Chain A
Amino acid sequence: MTTTRIALTVNGESVSADVPARLNLADFVRDQLGLTGTHVGCEHGVCGACTLRVDGEIVRSCLTLVVQADGCAVETIEGLSDSGEIADLQAAFRERNALQCGYCTPGMLMTAQDLLRKCANPERTEIREHLSGNYCRCTGYHAIVDAVERTAKARQRRS
């Protein structure tokens, strides 16, 4: 199989690899880099479990080829977690029971943090709208919206 040489950064670290064209970014970070926090649910863009950041914007990693991410800065849930960027959001999820099986959680955190970076004080409807592309089969969403809302309020108090 022909492969293409690519170079990108993942959570700030330089990575280069020879990859087949059909390899998507989700399988690349999971299988080749061992970053299994990015989950794979539907593989056609519907569930949001595979959401990660490319050049600062959230994308579906199951709908992004690694070759398309050549030269880009990729951030996974491990990156956001280790840097402490979302420590408060993660704590709010835990306190509010906003996760049960946890399958959707990395994608939910990525998407929620994306909203909080753009909008400091979102309405509940805005939170629901921003998370509309992320399925959760356990929680019924209510607790997730609560956790995001609490985090927004707490961050506002701190700033």
Chain B
Amino acid sequence: MKAPAFSYVRAESVEHALELLSRHGNAAKILSGGQSLLPALNLRLAAPAVLIDIGRLDELRGIKLRDDVVTIGALTRHADLLTSEEISASLPLLRKAAAHVAHPAIRNRGTIGGNLAHADPASEFPACMLALDARMVIRGEGGERRVNARDFFRGIYETALEPHELLAAIEVPRPQPGSRTYFHEFVRRSGDYAMTGLAALAHVDGAQLGDLRLSYFAISDRPHLARATSHLVGVEITAERIAEAQAELDAELDPPDDQQASAAMRRHFARLLLFRCVADVLGRPELAMEAVR
């Protein structure tokens, strides 16, 4: 289908965009890469009166490394995350995830800010931001505020952003040296939204896990940080420990049943991802074999 009619303004600066947002209120929508908004318009699932195009605001673009924080401008594209040496070196989890987000032509336009603001529960980056304990830098006419990833995602397509606010950047703490990351998703076709996936950050302490953040996506109305990891941190990891954690994980999840996957299938994927991740970050493939048995 074709998009309904709307008017279009190209923002000249962040201040200009914020002023336009306040003026038009709920009737306006921000346009970044358009890779989620334009499908919604073409399918007539959304009908904003005004689009405010922030796509040319260079001040919102780019990746900066400072001390222990990586700041990623909202307009940084998926394709940039995939090719950035800074990201490969400091946040390999994001690089791994970016390869699974849509297809090359879409990654050339889609932006991290638009992706996080869109907050699709099956989306990879929100889960990565939760695993990495990132902070969203939000701007409104009144100034700037920061919201942690765990408080930012509020539900299906719902975030802590107010209608008059803009996501300007994401601040990601650099994982400690020696941290390991794991990323995997189950999809029907490469580049599709996942049926279930996992983005994880682990700190390995000798043969044990010093810390483990398992952030699941496409399993709930928002990314889910597993509590079951308490069974795995600071203990000797055996097949029994993993089985306990899997049982606990199963109890804390309440996955949706939809045309993508049944709830039972999602639970199965979540359990699989747990032991594969632990076996991978510890470099102990035999754990995965034992867990299957």
Q: Do A and B interact?
A: yes
Residues of A at the B interface (CB closer than 8 Å) are 1-2, 4, 20-22, 24, 27, 43-45, 48, 51, 57-60, 62-65, 67-68, 111, 114-115, 128-130, 132-134
- CB–CB B109/A64 < 8 A: yes
Whether A51 pairs with B5 at a CB distance below 8 angstroms is no
CB <8 Å contact, A44 and B34: no
> Which single residue of chain A is at the shortest CB-CB distance from B45?
A44
The 27 sampled A-B contact pairs (Cβ below 8 Å) are A1-B5, A21-B5, A22-B2, A22-B3, A22-B4, A22-B6, A22-B41, A24-B2, A27-B2, A44-B38, A44-B43, A51-B105, A58-B104, A58-B105, A59-B105, A62-B38, A63-B34, A63-B39, A63-B42, A65-B38, A67-B8, A68-B34, A115-B104, A130-B104, A132-B103, A133-B105, A133-B191
A-B interface, 7 closest residue pairs, ranked by CB to CB distance from nearest: A133-B103, A21-B8, A44-B39, A132-B190, A63-B38, A58-B105, A22-B3
Taking a contact as CB atoms under 8 Å apart, the answer to whether B1 and A65 are in contact is no
B106 interface neighbour in A24, A60, A68, A129, Cβ under 8 Å: A60
A20 to B79, CA, bound (A): 29
- Give bound CA distance, A58 to B5, whole Å: 26
Question: Which of B35, B102, B106, B191 is packed against the most chain A CB atoms within 10 Å?
Answer: B106
- Name the residue on A nearest B39 (C-beta): A44
B7 within 8 A of A: yes
Q: Which single member of B3, B10, B109 contacts A24 (CB below 8 Å)? A: B3
Whether a CB of chain A sits under 8 angstroms from the CB of B55 is yes
Chain A's nearest CB lies how many Å from the CB of B80?
11
Within the complex, which residue of B5, B34, B43, B103 is in contact with A64, where a contact is CB–CB below 8 Å? B34
- Interface size of B by Cβ–Cβ distance < 8 Å? 31
A60/B105 in contact, CB under 8 A = yes
**Residues of chain A contacted by B6 (CB below 8 angstroms):** 21-22
Of the candidates B5, B38, B53, the one whose C-beta lies within 8 Å of that of A20 is B5
Q: Kindly state whether residue B238 has any CB partner on chain A within 8 Å.
A: no
Q: Is the CB of B38 within 8 A of A57?
A: no
Set A1, A65, A111: member contacting B105, Cβ < 8 A: A111
Chain B positions 57-82 with a Cβ under 8 Å from a chain A Cβ? 79
Q: Does any Cβ of A come within 8 Å of B293's Cβ?
A: no
Q: In the bound complex, what is the Cα–Cα distance between A31 and B117 (angstroms)?
A: 33
- Roughly how many angstroms separate A60 CA and B38 CA in the complex, as a whole number? 11
Query: Do residues B4 and A111 form an inter-chain contact, with CB atoms below 8 A?
Result: no
Identify the closest chain B residue to A62 (Cβ). Answer: B42
B108 touches A4 (CB 8 A): no
| Chain B window 1-40, contacts with chain A (Cβ cutoff 8 Å), 1 for yes, 0 for no | 1111111101000000000000000000001001100110
B108 touches A24 (CB 8 A): no
B51 interfacial by beta-carbon distance below 8 Å: yes
CA distance A128 to B105 in the complex (A): 14
Residue of B1, B3, B8, B106 near A45 (CB, 8 A) is B106
Q: Which A residue's beta carbon lies closest to that of B55?
A: A68
Nearest B residue (CB) for A56: B108
Smallest distance from the beta carbon of B216 to chain A beta carbons, Å? Answer: 23
In the docked arrangement, what's the CA distance between A68 and B3, Å? Answer: 15
